[in-house]
C-alpha cells in the first residue's frame, strides 16, 4: 500500500473519527484507525465495538491496500507538520512509513484482516430531517444524561418518533430535559430508541447547523446516520426508558417569570460559596422578589436578591445550582418561567415564547 495525501485532508478525516478511539483499550487494535486506499480516496474507519465512524479523504493512490495504524500517533504527526505539507505513506512489512519533506516516521501496524466490524445493521425505519434540527434537539437535552448509572438505560438519550414529530429526552433521575420539533415523518408506527451517551456526545460534536437534509436509519439494535462525507453507526441501549411524562408537572400553581441572563449570573455568583459536594442553592420567593442563598461547610455564605415577576405564595425551595444553570444555558430566549406547586415539588423551567422544550429539576433538602 502506498498513497500521497495533503495534510489538511487527512488531518480533517482523523479529527472526525478520533473521538471514538479510546485511550485505554482491552483490544489493541481498537486504538488504531483502519485506512483503506483505493480509487483516489482514503476511507478511514474507527470503532470501539459500540460505535463506528467512517469518513473519507482524497488522495493519490500509487498502490491500493488497507492497514490499521495507531490513530492518535498518526493524528499527532499530522498536526505537527506544516499546513501545506504533502504526506506520503508506504506499507513496509509490519510497519508504515510516514514521510513529509525531511520528516520521517515509522509506525507499527496491524493487519486489516483483524479489524472488528459492527454487527450487520438490519433494515428499519428511515427518516430525513435537517441537520440543524437534530443538532438543536441534542444541544437542548444531552446534558441531562446520566453518567455511569447502574440504571444503564439512563446512560443515554431517548429518541422518540411519531408521524408528526421527533422528540429527544434525557434524565439522570434528578433532572429531566425534553425537546421536540414538528416533523412530517413517513413511519408505520411510533417508535423509540435509547442512544448511548458516547454516541450522543459524538453527534453533538459532529453535527453542524446547516439546513442540509440528513438520513437516519433506526432499527431494533442500531442507529445509523448518513452525514455529508461521514457514516455514523451506533448500537442502541437495550432497555426500557422510564415513563418521563409522569414526572413533568402538569398544573403548577406558582409561577415566576424572570430575565434568563440575570438569573444565570446571580446563580453563578451564589454558587461560588455553595457546598462543593452537593452544589445546593436556596431559592426564597416572595412578591416580586427572588432571594438566592448558599453556604458551605466552612460556614461561608452568599446571598443575592433579584426583582422578578411573582405573585404566588411565599416559598423556600432548594435546587442543585448546576441543574438550574444547565437548563438555562440550553435556552436562547431572553425570559423564562419557573413553575412550582410547593416547596417539595419539582420545578418546571420553560423559555417564554418556546414551548418545544421543558426542563424538570427535583428539589433538594438544604
DSSP 121: P
Residue with cell 455511569: 148
Domain membership flag for residue 90: yes
Structural domain ending residue among the three candidates 188, 215, 245? 245
Domain membership flag for residue 366: no
pLDDT of residue 125: 81
Q: How many CB atoms lie within 10 A of CB 113?
A: 7
Domain membership flag for residue 335: yes
Q: Do 275 and 211 reside in the same domain of the chain?
A: no
pLDDT of residue 136: 97
Q: Do 90 and 51 reside in the same domain of the chain?
A: yes
Closest CA to 237 of 291, 290, 199, 266: 199
Q: Do 230 and 132 reside in the same domain of the chain?
A: yes
Q: Do 230 and 304 reside in the same domain of the chain?
A: no
Residue with cell 473519527: 17
Q: Do 271 and 344 reside in the same domain of the chain?
A: yes
**Exposure class string for 286-304: b at 16+ Cβ within 10 A, else e:** eeeebbbbbbbeeeeebeb
pLDDT of residue 234: 96
Closest CA to 322 of 330, 312, 314, 310: 330
Q: Do 241 and 252 reside in the same domain of the chain?
A: no
pLDDT of residue 22: 84
Domain membership flag for residue 280: yes
β-pair partners for 104: 99
Q: Give dist(CA 237, CA 221) in Å, integer.
A: 8
pLDDT tens, per residue, the chain with 366 residues: 999 999 999 999 999 999 999 887 788 999 999 999 999 999 999 999 999 999 999 999 999 999 999 999 999 999 999 999 999 999 988 899 999 999 999 999 999 999 998 877 777 788 999 999 999 999 999 999 999 899 999 999 999 999 999 999 999 999 999 999 999 988 878 899 999 999 999 999 999 999 999 999 998 899 999 988 899 999 999 999 999 999 999 888 899 999 999 999 999 999 999 988 888 999 999 999 999 999 998 999 999 999 999 998 999 999 999 999 999 999 999 999 999 998 999 999 999 999 999 999 999 987
Grid cell in block for residue 27: 483490544
DSSP 29: G
State which residues form the domain around 182: 125-245
Domain membership flag for residue 207: yes
Q: Do 166 and 269 reside in the same domain of the chain?
A: no
Q: Do 215 and 283 reside in the same domain of the chain?
A: no
Q: Do 99 and 198 reside in the same domain of the chain?
A: no
Domain membership flag for residue 120: no
Q: Please write down the HEC assignment for all residues of 132-194.
A: HHHHHHHHCCHHHCCCCCCCHHHCEEEEEEECCEEEEEEECCCEEEEEEEECCCCCCCCEEEE
Q: Do 166 and 72 reside in the same domain of the chain?
A: no
- Specify the CATH number for the domain of residue 241: 3.10.150.10
Q: Give dist(CA 332, CA 354) in Å, integer.
A: 9
Q: Give dist(CA 117, CA 115) in Å, integer.
A: 6
124 and 218 Cβ atoms separated by less than 8 Å:
yes
Annotate 287-320 with DSSP letters as a single string.
TTEEEEEEE-TT--EEEEEEE-B--S--EEEEEE
Q: Do 98 and 190 reside in the same domain of the chain?
A: no
Q: Do 6 and 40 reside in the same domain of the chain?
A: yes
Closest CA to 74 of 93, 111, 39, 100: 100
Domain membership flag for residue 9: yes
Q: Number of structural domains, the chain?
A: 3
pLDDT of residue 279: 87
Structural domain ending residue among the three candidates 189, 218, 245? 245
31: helix, strand or coil: helix
Closest CA to 241 of 320, 342, 297, 168: 168
Q: Give dist(CA 5, CA 99) in Å, integer.
A: 11
pLDDT of residue 121: 72
Structural domain ending residue among the three candidates 90, 114, 138? 114
Domain membership flag for residue 119: no
Amino acid at each position: 500500500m502506498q498513497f500521497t495525501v495533503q495534510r489538511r485532508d487527512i488531518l480533517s478525516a482523523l479529527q472526525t473519527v478520533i473521538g471514538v478511539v479510546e485511550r485505554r483499550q482491552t483490544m489493541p487494535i481498537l486504538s488504531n484507525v483502519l485506512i483503506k486506499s483505493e480509487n483516489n480516496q482514503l476511507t478511514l474507519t474507527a470503532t470501539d465495538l459500540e460505535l463506528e465512524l467512517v469518513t473519507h479523504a482524497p488522495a493519490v493512490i500509487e498502490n491500493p491496500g488497507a492497514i490499521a495504524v495507531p490513530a492518535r500517533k498518526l493524528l499527532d504527526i499530522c498536526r505537527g507538520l506544516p499546513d501545506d505539507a504533502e504526506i506520503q505513506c508506504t506499507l513496509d512489512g509490519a510497519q508504515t512509513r510516514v514521510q513529509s519533506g525531511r520528516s520521517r516516521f515509522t509506525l507499527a501496524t496491524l493487519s486489516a484482516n483483524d479489524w472488528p466490524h459492527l454487527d450487520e445493521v438490519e433494515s428499519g425505519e428511515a427518516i430525513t430531517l435537517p441537520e440543524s434540527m437534530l443538532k438543536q434537539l441534542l444541544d437542548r437535552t444531552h446534558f441531562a444524561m446520566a453518567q455511569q448509572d447502574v440504571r444503564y438505560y439512563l446512560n443515554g438519550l431517548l429518541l422518540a418518533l411519531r408521524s408528526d414529530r421527533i422528540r429527544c429526552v434525557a434524565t439522570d433521575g434528578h433532572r429531566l430535559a425534553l425537546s421536540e420539533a414538528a416533523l412530517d415523518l413517513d413511519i408505520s408506527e411510533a417508535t423509540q430508541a435509547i442512544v448511548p451517551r458516547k454516541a450522543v456526545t459524538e453527534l453533538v460534536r459532529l453535527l453542524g447547523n446547516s439546513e442540509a437534509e440528513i438520513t437516519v436509519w433506526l432499527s431494533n439494535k442500531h442507529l445509523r446516520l448518513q452525514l455529508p462525507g461521514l457514516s455514523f453507526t451506533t448500537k442502541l441501549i437495550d432497555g426500557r426508558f422510564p415513563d418521563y411524562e409522569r414526572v413533568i408537572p402538569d398544573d403548577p400553581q406558582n409561577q415566576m417569570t424572570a430575565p434568563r441572563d440575570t438569573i444565570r449570573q446571580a446563580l453563578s455568583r451564589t454558587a461560588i460559596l455553595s457546598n462543593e459536594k452537593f452544589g445546593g442553592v436556596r431559592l426564597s420567593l416572595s412578591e416580586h422578589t427572588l432571594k438566592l442563598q448558599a453556604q458551605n461547610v466552612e460556614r461561608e455564605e452568599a446571598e443575592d436578591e433579584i426583582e422578578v415577576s411573582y405573585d404566588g405564595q411565599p416559598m423556600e425551595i432548594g435546587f442543585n445550582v448546576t441543574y438550574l444553570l444547565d437548563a438555562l444555558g440550553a435556552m436562547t430566549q431572553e425570559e423564562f418561567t419557573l413553575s412550582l406547586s410547593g416547596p417539595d415539588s419539582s420545578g418546571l423551567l420553560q423559555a417564554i415564547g418556546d414551548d418545544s422544550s421543558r426542563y424538570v429539576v427535583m428539589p433538594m433538602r438544604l
